[in-house]
């Protein structure tokens, strides 16, 4: 019986570790998405600045088509 209790505790701990790792991965993905949004905003600002000088960067295709 004690062996079963130990096994349950070990499995519960393992499940907690997997859950914590999943939370960390989700935070990493969210951080990368935010970083990508920030870079897109910066790119838009640079393009607007270039447009003021008549040197607008006009991509031949959208970013999604490049992938």
Give residue 67's pLDDT.
52
Q: What is the pTM of this model?
A: 0.54
Contacts of 47 (CB under 8 A, 6+ apart): 56, 57
Give residue 54's pLDDT.
79
Determine the Cα–Cα distance for residues 64 and 59; give it in Å rounded to an integer: 12
**Which tens digits make up the pLDDT trace of 28-67?**
999 999 999 999 999 999 999 898 887 655 555 555 655 5
């Amino acid at each position: 019986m004690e062996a079963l209790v130990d096994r349950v505790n070990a499995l519960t701990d393992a499940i907690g570790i997997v859950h914590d790792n999943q939370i960390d991965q989700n935070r990493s993905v969210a951080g990368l998405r935010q970083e990508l949004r920030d870079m897109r905003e910066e790119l838009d600002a640079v393009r607007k600045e270039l447009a003021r000088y008549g040197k607008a960067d006009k991509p031949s295709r959208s970013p999604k088509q490049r992938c």
